[in-house]
Each structure stands twice: as C-alpha cells, then as structure tokens.
Chain A
Amino acid sequence: MDIEKSPGNREDAPTAPPLLPPAAPRWVKTFGIVALVLVLLFVVMHLMGRGLSGHMGHSGVTTHGEQP
C-alpha cells in the first residue's frame, strides 16, 4: 500500500520531545494524601491530647526506699 507521506507522518520529520515531565503516578498522589492525613492526625493528637509528655518521662514509679 502506497501512502503519500504527509508532513505529519514523514519519517524524516523530527519528533518533538515532550516539553513537560509526566504527571506523578496515581499511586504517588494517593500515597501523598494518606501521608498528609496521617501527619495531620499525629500533630492534632499531640496538640489536643497529651502533648509530648510521653517523651519526657513523667515517672509514676515508686522505687524501693524512694519517696513518691
């Protein structure tokens, strides 16, 4: 089959490379949203709840020979 080459399908026509990078895949977007929600949840829990007291080690333990 002899097809006349148009400017659009000429073999010697330079193929223009894409100028913009491809968009992020769906799994990356989903992952980002889930991560953002978890980070916000973590921050809100620490701000509204117990603060960071658990990291500071308020000891409620009474050891032998020690006053509470």
Chain B
Amino acid sequence: MAPGLRKFVLTAHVTSSVGWLGAVAGFLALAVAGLTSHDAPMMRAAYLAMDRLTWLVIVPMNFASLLTGLLQSLGTTWGLFRHYWVLVKLLLTIPATILLLVHTQPMGYMARAAAATTTLSGADLHEARVQLVVASSAALLVLFVATTLSVYKPRGMTPYGWRKGRG
C-alpha cells in the first residue's frame, strides 16, 4: 500500500474505531438512564435516541472500523494472521459486530414501544432494558481492550507469521 493511502486508511481506522467506542459509551449512558429513570418522557426520549444512535452512528462506525482494519492489516506488512495482537483484535471485532446486530432487535422493540406509548413505565420490558445495559457494557469493555491492543501492540508472532517471516 502506498504511504499516502496507508496514512489515509489508518486515519479512517483510528477515527471509526474511537468513534465506535465513544458512541457505545453514549449508548450505555442512555441505557442506564432508560433503566433507572422514573420519568416517562425521559425514558421514551432515551430509547428513541438510542435507536437513532445505533443505526446512524454505531453500526456505520462498526463496519467502517472492521473494513479499514482489514485493509490496514492486509495492505501492510502487519498482515491479518501474522501477529497475535492483530488476530485477537479481529477475533474481538467479528463477534462484537454479530452481537451488535443481534441486539439491534431488542433496541428496535424498545424504540417502537417508546414511540407507541406515552406511559412507558418502569416495569415495561424490564428484561430487554437490563440486557441493553449489560450488552453495551460488554461492548465497551471489548472496544477498550481492542484499543489497548492497538496502542501497545504486544509482541508475539503466530506460527503462520513465523513461517512467513522465515520464507
């Protein structure tokens, strides 16, 4: 990959990855507000905002991060399977993407419920509301670990990378 293009893809990757983390942090704040608030308008606003945040920010940032990460690793000497830290990041990002898409379902139900009623009470959809807090907390932890791996780049080559290095 040409140096200019590499820098561009790297900038896009860092921006989308950190943006993804920040958006999930915002989602968690709204999920906690929706779970703990006793104010019905506040709860409705939280779940409606979470739905927009999911589809307009989190999902696009997620795919942008995954795509630019693949380009960055395959287009440089880092490779996708040569270094453990790159491989671990990939193994974190793919399940996180799948889980995100799975959890858009309860998010959608919550948003539709919030939009359809003006009396969303604390007992309504309690399980789904707790699940949104737990899932976004887990996602935040995963993204924090991925960011830490990117910054520290801990040593260690995979057997595949070792063979490639010898050959």
Per the 8 Å Cβ criterion, residues 80-131 of B in contact with A are: 84, 88, 102-103, 105-106, 108-109, 113, 116-118, 120, 123-128, 131
Count of residues in A whose CB is under 8 Å from the partner chain: 22
Set of chain A residues within 8 Å of B126, measured between Cβ atoms: 60
B124-147 near A? 1/0 per residue, CB < 8 Å = 111110010000000000000000
Q: Give the tally of cross-chain contacts (CB within 8 A).
A: 59
Residues of B within 8 A of A (CB): 84, 88, 102-103, 105-106, 108-109, 113, 116-118, 120, 123-128, 131, 154-159, 162-163, 166
Interface of A is mostly: loop
Interface of B is mostly: helix
Set of chain A residues within 8 Å of B128, measured between Cβ atoms: 54, 57
Check A1 for interface membership: any CB of B closer than 8 A.
Answer: no
CB–CB A21/B124 < 8 A: no
Minimum CB distance partner of A45 in chain B: B134
Set of chain A residues within 8 Å of B125, measured between Cβ atoms: 59-61
Given known contacts A27-B154, A57-B128, A63-B116, A21 and B102 CB-to-CB distance under 8 angstroms: no
